[in-house]
Every structure is written in C-alpha cells, then in structure tokens.
C-alpha cells in the first residue's frame, strides 16, 4: 500500500471541498490513507496517489463518488447524546405540540442522517412518549449526500454492534425484528421516515417546506467558515419562525448566524430563528 504524497493530499482536500464542503486539516493525511486503502486496492492496485488522480478526472464521476463517500465521516448511533433526547422530549416537542394543536401537523428534518439512526430515534421517541400524535400529520425527512448511507438507512437493518450503541433494550424489543444476524426496524415505523439524497452545501431541494425541528448535528464542524455561513442562511429559511434548530452537543452558534438560544442561559445546543437577520 502506497503512502499519500503532499500533492495528492492537496488534490484530495480540494476535491472534498468542492464536492461536499468537507474541510480536511493539513495534518490528517493518515486518515486518507486508512479510509482509501480498500478503494485503492480495488481500482489502482493499492496506489492511493493514482486513485486520487484518477478520481479527479472528468471521466471518473462514479469513482469520484466512491472516493468522497469513503472519506465521509458517518459516525452515528441511536439516541446519540442524552441531551438530544431530553431536549426533544421535555422542551421542544411539548412546546410545539401546544402551538400546533389546531393544525395537528409536525415537520422534522434530519439534515445529515448518515445510516439512519438519528431519524429512527426521533420516530421511536415520538411513538413512545407522545401517543396523542396518532391522528397528526407527521413528516420526518432524513437526508444525506451519501447514496450508500441512504441505501442502508432505508433498509433499517443494523448489526449487533450498531444495536448496542445507544439503543435501550425496551426500544429494541418494541421496534425491531431479528432478521438473521441483523435487526430490522418494523415496517410501520420505517414507513414514517422519508429519505432523500441532498448535498447540503452544493445543492438545495426545490419546494422544500419549512420545518418545526431541524437536526443539523455534528455537521458544521467539518465545514469552512464560509460554507457554514452559507448553509446556516439556507437552514434559517427552512426553519419555522417558532421552530427549532438542534446542533451537536459540542457545537454552538454566534448571533450572526440568524439564530438565538431557545432557552436563555441554557447550555443545550438548540436554537430558534432570531427576530433580526
């Protein structure tokens, strides 16, 4: 297996920035070597530099997609971070249900869903804690740029290691069926999540609705400042005036992003659109 040289790493960083706005630090070449070795064995006899050069050509769009997906960070698991579930269950959803009780509609978007654990966690939380929503019009949209991740998410099937990461035993028993060596989310719950391929920075869906809750968790930290600002400006337009934006546990926003903390003085990473843009 070849080592990645400086020129190839710079080309890779440029490619990832152009394709998915992923900003790689200068000292992370070892990550590229680890994540691209299998792809290099398959396409260029183990030569990572040749792989990057080939993927950068106009004629290799399919290979370029494979390379970008191999480099993407797809870290996710069920009910990731207790603060996430608590914020939804105890603050955001009760407030929204009160404000939407006449319309009986609720729109939720998991904007970088990876292999689906986040939106399925939301669907499980709604069913377990809010039985009054049975006659509501609930829409959960989950998106990611990776076709491979979305294909897995749509199946709703997970191995034992994935099931053991954050999923309570009661939720496993209630919402999953064992299928060979994997566990699959039951069809009724799986049907409540609609998956869509979206590149958040490079593309934007036409006719997208406004959402009551947008989950943009552990995404912004991988983008450049310019890309973060552009994305948040678009996210703000998709957030209902009294809706919420939920970030990752270690993420925060400045007022210039167009959002303010939903609860003054709270350290919880969820926000509402500010009155001033």
Position 122 confidence tier, pLDDT thresholds 50, 70, 90: very high
Residue 1 has pLDDT above 60, yes or no: no
| Backbone angle region of 180, left / alpha / beta, with phi > 0 → left and psi within -120 to 50 → alpha | left
Q: What whole-number distance in Å separates Cα of residue 248 and Cα of residue 214?
A: 12
Mean pLDDT across the chain: 86
**Tens of pLDDT, residues 19-73:** 777 777 777 788 788 888 888 888 888 888 988 888 888 666 788 888 887 877 6
Give the pLDDT score at 214: 96
In 3D, which of 155, 156, 154 has the Cα closest to residue 195?
154
Check residue 133 and give its pLDDT.
94
Report pLDDT for 15.
Answer: 83
In the chain, where are the structural domains located?
6-71, 82-273
Lowest average pLDDT, out of 141-150, 193-202, 215-224, goes to 215-224
Q: Is 0.85 topped by the overall pTM?
A: no
pLDDT for position 156: 95
Which CATH topology does 82-273 take?
A: Rossmann fold (3.40.50)
Instruction: Enumerate residues 6+ apart whose C-beta is below 8 A from 180.
Output: none
Residue 229: pLDDT above 90?
no
Distance, CA of 84 to CA of 26 (rounded, Å): 32
Q: What is the pLDDT of residues 158-187, one digit of tens each?
A: 998 899 888 899 999 999 999 888 999 999
Task: Say yes or no to pLDDT of 80 above 70.
Answer: yes
Contact 269, 251 (CB under 8 A): yes
What distance in Å separates the CA atoms of residue 33 and residue 4, rounded to the nearest whole number?
A: 6
pLDDT at 276: 52
- Residue 277: predicted pLDDT: 47
Instruction: Quote the CA–CA distance of 236 and 245 in Å, as a whole number.
Output: 9
Region 198-209 average pLDDT: 83
pLDDT attached to residue 265: 52
pLDDT for 165: 85
| pLDDT over 90, % of the chain | 38
What phi and psi values does residue 194 have, to the nearest 5 degrees? Answer: -110, 120
Which pLDDT tens digit goes with each residue over 242-276?
Answer: 999 998 877 777 766 788 877 755 566 778 887 65
């Amino acid at each position: 297996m070849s080592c990645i040289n400086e020129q190839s790493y710079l080309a890779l960083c440029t490619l990832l920035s152009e394709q998915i706005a992923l900003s790689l630090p200068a000292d992370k070449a070892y990550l590229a070597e680890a994540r691209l070795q299998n792809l290099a064995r398959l396409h260029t006899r183990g030569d990572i530099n040749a792989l990057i050069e080939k993927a950068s050509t106009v004629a290799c769009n399919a290979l370029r997609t494979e390379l970008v997906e191999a480099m993407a960070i797809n870290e996710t698991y069920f009910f990731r971070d207790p603060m996430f579930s608590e914020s939804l269950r105890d603050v955001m959803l009760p407030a929204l249900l009160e404000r939407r009780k006449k319309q009986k509609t609720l729109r939720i978007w998991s904007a970088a869903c990876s292999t689906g654990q986040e939106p399925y966690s939301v669907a499980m939380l709604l069913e377990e804690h809010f039985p009054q929503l049975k006659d509501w019009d609930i829409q959960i949209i989950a998106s990611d740029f990776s076709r491979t991740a979305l294909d897995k998410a749509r199946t709703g099937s997970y191995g034992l290691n994935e099931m053991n990461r954050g999923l309570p035993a009661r939720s496993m028993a209630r919402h999953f069926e064992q299928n060979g060596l994997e566990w699959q989310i039951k069809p009724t719950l799986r049907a409540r999540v609609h998956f869509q391929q979206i590149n958040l920075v490079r593309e934007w869906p036409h006719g997208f609705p406004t959402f009551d809750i947008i989950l943009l968790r552990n995404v912004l930290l991988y983008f450049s400042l310019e890309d973060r600002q552009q994305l948040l400006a678009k996210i703000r337009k998709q957030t209902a005036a009294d809706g919420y934006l939920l970030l990752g546990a270690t993420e925060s926003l400045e007022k210039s992003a167009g959002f303010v903390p939903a609860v003054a003085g709270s350290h919880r990473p969820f926000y509402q659109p500010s009155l001033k843009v």
